[in-house]
Amino acid sequence: MEKKNIAVVGATGAVGQKMLEVLEQRNFPFNSIRLLASERSAGKKISFLGQELTVEALNKDSFQGIDIALFSAGAARSKEFAPIAAAAGAVVVDNTSQFRMDPNVPLVVPEVNAADIEKHKGIIANPNCSTIGMVLALNPIHQVAKIKRVVVSTYQSVSGAGATAIEELKTQVKDWVDGKDLVVDKFQHPIAFNCIPHIDVFMDNGYTKEEMKMVEETKKILGDDSIQVTATCVRVPVFFAHSESLTIETEKKLSAAEVKELLSSAPGICLLDDPENNQYPMPYDLAGRDETFVGRIREDVSHPSSINLWLVSDNLRKGAALNAVQIAENL
Ligand code: NAP
Ligand code: 3JN
């Protein structure tokens, strides 16, 4: 692989920090790496492969000489700076929702639609973390049995809401144990010992934006607008890794054994399905892992051609940083 000049935009954030970890772990062949964040972080030192790197404030000149720019500093920064980076000759891999549904921007999970990367015009979008785990499991099933409808409920960890949300859960748990009042800032309600069915803003149709991201992104990645998806996204008091319950209705009936067989060889998926020995995916065990783990696979007793399953995927790794770095590796 030819060595590239890399920029990480949002390098001080939860996703940016994970990007650096993944780049290190995968020996990504870079020539130089530039760390960008807000004015607040300019001058801050971050250690990367044994070197102390200095964070720079993002500005319109940040992308001179950059080949690949990994963006995770929020949709507003992507809207403003991704086109500037692309115009300066970089290929942008964008982790935000800003360009995901733009018909000129490929939306890529490499195990599913790596071929779409070639169609880029300077920007490639990384899907939402909950979508990525789900489509890894859906794609092999869709290829053989054509999916008609998916009902998904998510159980999303606080790290999906950024570095300060992780601190908020830690502080609330400590304060709860100490009998103190809980301070609520990042979420609408206390997240310690709670489940909040509200991620991102509410839309006119009663869904949240996070739920509609799952609906729309799934169709684009699988290249099939006929797949019907309905989602309920819930924030739970877990630090890392998102879990999802899926009901998948197919045109052709598949047995549970057939689905297990399909998913046992699916790229990016690891089957963990041994209920007799209490073995099924859980975020407690699987945070930090690259694969999306699937278990509890069973035929839906309420429908003749439908499957239920449960999955767990590390939202900061495969759900964000790892998927983005895999796209960069494909480039
Ligand atoms: P975070 O921990 O809050 O980090 C935000 C990052 O953005 C920090 O590096 C911050 O820099 C930087 N930033 C904020 N305002 C900026 C500005 N005006 N100019 C330059 N940099 C700025 O959030 P996160 O969890 O890493 O998420 C960051 C973004 O990634 C999200 O907004 C979202 O769009 C995307 N994301 C995607 C997924 C996914 O599903 N693929 C998952 C999570 C997040 P400072 O430290 O200097 O403030
Ligand atoms: O909440 C989560 O678990 C995932 C959050 C993702 C997120 C957070 C803030 C802004 C996104 C995203 O990736 O869709 C965005 C955004 O870019 O809109």
Same domain? 298 vs 324 = no
Same domain? 143 vs 235 = yes
State the pLDDT at residue 56: 98
Ligand 1 centroid – CA 125 distance (Å): 15
Question: CA-CA-CA-CA torsion for 196, 198, 200, 203, nearest 10 degrees?
Answer: -170
Ligand 2 centroid – CA 324 distance (Å): 14
Query: pLDDT tens digits for 74-116?
Result: 999 999 999 999 999 999 999 999 999 999 999 999 999 999 9
Domain with 45 in it: 4-127+320-330
Indicate left, alpha or beta for 38 from its phi (over 0: left) and psi (-120 to 50: alpha): beta
- What does DSSP say about strands 4-9 and 30-37: parallel, antiparallel, or unpaired? parallel
State the pLDDT at residue 1: 60
Q: Which residue has the tokens 């979420």?
A: 187
Pair 115, 195: CB distance under 8 Å: no
Catalytic positions: 129, 242
Q: How far apart are CA 113 and CA 81, in angstroms?
A: 26
Same domain? 157 vs 175 = yes
Angle at 319 between CA 324 and CA 12, to 5 degrees: 65
Atom of ligand 2 nearest to the CA of 157: 3
* Positions of the chain with pLDDT under 70: 1
Cβ partners under 8 Å of residue 273, min gap 6: 260, 279, 280, 294, 295, 296, 297
Task: Looking at the CA of 15, name the nearest ligand.
Answer: 1
Ligand 2 centroid – CA 54 distance (Å): 26
Ligand 2 neighbours, Cβ below 6 Å, are: 75, 96-97, 128-129, 156, 160-161, 199, 213, 315
Same domain? 83 vs 209 = no
Same domain? 12 vs 156 = no
Atom of ligand 1 nearest to the CA of 127: 41
Atom of ligand 2 nearest to the CA of 162: 8
Same domain? 310 vs 165 = yes
* Residue with CA at minimum distance from ligand 2 atom 2: 160
pTM value > 0.85 = yes
* Residue with CA at minimum distance from ligand 2 atom 1: 160
| Residue 199: φ, ψ to 5° | -130, 125
Q: Candidates 71, 78, 126, 200: which one to mutate for ligand 2, based on the most atoms within 8 Å of Cβ? A: 200
Atom of ligand 2 nearest to the CA of 199: 1
* Residue with CA at minimum distance from ligand 1 atom 46: 12
State the pLDDT at residue 147: 98
Q: Please count the structural domains in the chain.
A: 2
Same domain? 209 vs 175 = yes
Task: Looking at the CA of 14, name the nearest ligand.
Answer: 1
CATH of the domain at 260: 3.30.360.10
Query: pLDDT tens digits for 220-245?
Result: 999 999 999 999 999 999 999 999 99
Same domain? 169 vs 203 = yes
Ligand 1 centroid – CA 161 distance (Å): 9
State the pLDDT at residue 2: 75
Task: Looking at the CA of 40, name the nearest ligand.
Answer: 1
Same domain? 142 vs 273 = yes
Q: Candidates 61, 80, 95, 186: which one to mutate for ligand 1, based on the most atoms within 8 Å of Cβ? A: 95
Same domain? 149 vs 93 = no
Ligand 1 centroid – CA 183 distance (Å): 22
Cβ partners under 8 Å of residue 231, min gap 6: 130, 152, 153, 154, 207, 210, 211, 212, 214, 215
Ligand 2 centroid – CA 186 distance (Å): 13
CATH of the domain at 18: 3.40.50.720
Same domain? 190 vs 215 = yes
Same domain? 293 vs 325 = no
